[in-house]
Structures are given as structure tokens and as C-alpha cells.
Amino acid sequence: MSTPAVVQQMNLLEKRLNVQLFVRNTHGVTLTPAAGIEFIQWSRQIIFDCQQAEKALGKYQQKIVFASGYLNGQTLSGRLIPQFQKNHPKAQISFREINDYQQIPAEVDILEMTYAKEPLSEHEFSFISIVPSPLRVALPASHPLAKKKQLSLQDLAAQDLEIVAPSIAGSEDVMLSKLLNVRPAVKLHYYSVFNKAVVNQAQLTKHLLLIPEAYSELCHPYRSLSPLQLAMASTVVNQSPN
């Protein structure tokens, strides 16, 4: 909305309620200390009640909103959604791509992720582990380890390894625990969000990358991907308690 349109709505609101809600001066616009503050409290409660009512009534709809992070593969949708549609032909399924895990739309029922701990703590999702995602080490084709068919933890000795931060992976993760136990033989560096910037930084520092297999396509030009002997669980979370 343009500024004149917003000002017009503010004026109409005050006229409708016959109350001054805003203080206008050269420094900008603020709420009046009495009516304005009380009105904003009622407004927030109304918005919250509307959201809760919509959420409660959602269980009566034959509709499922499925979402996946923009870095994730289609592990669940590719394997389970076609079978679900066959068993429930009247159900309506729609898809969303999530770019910001702190701003997940309220209508999302199921969200597929590889790491699903800390980023979703405020969204009331329950967590279900579905399938393990093999962990791979991304490294340049010229690296000596690139010639091996499979890597072990011993192969990573004295290597600089970029790995997801413990707060994201969860302290119970088997691979992370083992890597922490063999330090300082393996020099760990942490990233909180995996994206192209992490890959570019690794190229500059000549670090290796430990990533879930679902992210392997994002590692260009780290073409050579060697599997490790342990895996990390891929997680699907469901926002709807019903």
C-alpha cells in the first residue's frame, strides 16, 4: 500500500471508532498512550483468534499442504505422495517451497527436511524420522581422497572438515558424536545453514564438506562425492496434531 492509502485507512479507522489512536508529528506516527495501546492489544487478540479458528477448522478439510525446503530433495513426496493419492483420491494436495524456516506458513501440514531440530522450535511441529540420508564428503576431484570408493573416519585425520553446527544436527547424532571424539585429528568447522556460500568458502579455504546426500547437487564444482560409512536421519515434521 502507498503511504497516502495507509494514512487514509488510519483516518477512517479513527472516524469509525470516534477515538484518536495515533499521534502524528514531525518525528512520525506513534500510538496514543491510552486508546492506541489498548486498541493494538485487542487487534492482536482478534488476529490470533482468527488464526486459531482457521487452524481448528482445518482438520475438517480434505486438503494437505506439503512443503519442502528449497535445498531438500523429494524423498517423501516422490515415494509416498503417489501412493497416498491412490488411497485417498478425494484429498487435495498442494505444495510449497520454504526459503525461510523462521517464516513457515501456518497452512503447512507436512514439511520435509534433512535437519529438523533448532530451526523449527517455534512452529509446534512434531518430529518423525523417516529415512536415513547417507552422509557424503564433498571434495575437489584433484584431492587424494577422491580416488577412494568409500571413506572412513580415519581417512579424515588431519583434514579440515566443514560440518553442520551441533545445534542444528542435534547432540545425539551418531556421526557428529564420533567426529567430536576424534578431534583434534579432524579439524571441524561449523556452518549453520548450507548454501552456495558455504561451498564457495570451502573452495577458498580448501576445506572438505560433510553433507547429506540430498544436498550433493549443490556442491558444484565439488564433483567427487565419497560416501562415509555412517548416515544421518532424514526427518519429516508434521505441524497438524490431527
pLDDT, tens digit, 9 for 90 and up, residues 99-119: 777 777 877 888 777 765 544
Task: Identify which of 152, 166, 159, 151 has the alpha carbon closest to the alpha carbon of residue 185.
Answer: 159
Q: Which of 121, 119, 120, 129 is nearest to 194 (CA)?
A: 119
What pairing do the DSSP bridges indicate for beta strands 92-98 and 110-113? unpaired
Q: What single-letter DSSP state applies at residue 58?
A: G
| Predicted confidence band of residue 173 (pLDDT cuts 50, 70, 90) | low
Residue whose C-alpha cell reads 558424536 in the numeric block: 177
CA 3 and chain centroid, separation: 34
Contacts of 209 (CB under 8 A, 6+ apart): 137, 138, 139, 161, 162, 198, 199, 202, 219, 222
Query: Residue for cell digits 571424539?
Result: 181
Give, in degrees to the nearest 5, the angle at Cα 214 between 213 and 218: 95
Calculate the average pLDDT of the chain.
77
**How confident is the model over 203-216, as a mean pLDDT?**
84
What is the spatial distance between Cα 180 and Cα 163, in angstroms, rounded to a whole number? 11
Indicate the pLDDT class of residue 70, thresholds 50, 70 and 90.
low
Burial (0-12, 13-18, 19+ Cβ within 10 Å), 101: middle
Residue 233: predicted pLDDT:
45
Q: Quick check: 242 pLDDT over 80?
A: no
Distance of alpha carbon 177 from alpha carbon 194, whole angstroms: 20
Residue that wins the pLDDT comparison between 18 and 210: 18
- Among candidate residues 181, 134, 125, 137, the one with its CA nearest the CA of residue 162: 137
